[in-house]
Amino acid sequence: MPIDTLQLLLDSSSIADDFLTSPTNVTEPCGSCISKSALTGSSGWLKDIVGIGVAIVVGLMATVTALIQVRWNVISSSRIKWIESFRNDISAYCEASIAMRTNYLNTISPVVRNDKDTFDRFYEKYCANNSQCNVLSYNIRLKLNLKKKRHIQIEQYLCDREKLFKQDRIESTTFEEVDDVLNLLIVETRNIAKEEWEKSKKIKFWKFWEL
């Protein structure tokens, strides 16, 4: 076979291979149709956006819940400490008031007044009780919230008790009068402590700023 004819056959075979394997031979979808790959890709992208949005919302809710829990724990702990301190101050105030009344009566006793050493001892105790009552009274008043009815009542009982121990009144004050005022003070303190204790056990998620 002549060399030119062989070369022509080889060139024709190469052209056929190029035609069959050329990308231009692939049928493209018409312009009015959307390919499946395009639809699938769009749907996946939308799902990713929704997933990210849900994750952000859940994360924010978890963060807010954690902040509320921390705030509640701090306030609850402070409230419990306040209850204990308030009750201890009231208890000490009542005890010091009774002791003050007792030591005053001892100082005005004729038997004691005739014994200077005994008189000085009881008078010193009386003065110490008086100072203790004053300090405790200040502490109690500093803990009161006078916007609350029960706290206002505590303030009133403190004033009533102080009237009974005034210089021109204490000698005629009876133990029954002192006990009555102190008992009212104790009952109201118990009510306040109960209210505050119940608050320390509850979380108001819808009013967390009022905890």
pLDDT tens digits along 118-168: 999 999 999 999 999 999 999 999 999 999 999 999 999 999 999 999 988
Q: Number of structural domains, the chain?
A: 1
Specify if 165 maps to a domain: yes
User: Is 98 a domain residue?
Assistant: yes
Does 28 fall in a domain? no
pLDDT at 160: 96
Q: Among the listed ranges 9-13, 95-99, 166-170, 189-193, which one has the minimum average pLDDT value?
A: 9-13
DSSP the chain: --HHHHHHHHHHHHHHHHHHH-GGGSPPPPTT---HHHHHHHHHHHHHHHHHHHHHHHHHHHHHHHHHHHHHHHHHHHHHHHHHHHHHHHHHHHHHHHHHHHHHHHHT-HHHHT-HHHHHHHHHHHHHHHHHHHHHHHHHHHH--TTSHHHHHHHHHHHHHHHHTSTTTGGG--HHHHHHHHHHHHHHHHHHHHHHHHHHT---GGGGGG-
Render pLDDT for 160-204 as a digit per residue (tens, 0 to 9). Answer: 999 999 988 888 889 999 999 999 999 999 999 999 888 877 655
pLDDT at 1: 45
The predicted model scores a pTM of: 0.66
Residue 151 lies in a domain: yes
Whether 130 maps to a domain, the answer reads yes
Is position 101 within any domain? yes
pLDDT at 49: 81
Structural domain that includes position 88? 80-200
Q: Does residue 209 belong to any structural domain of this protein?
A: no
User: Does residue 17 form part of some domain?
Assistant: no
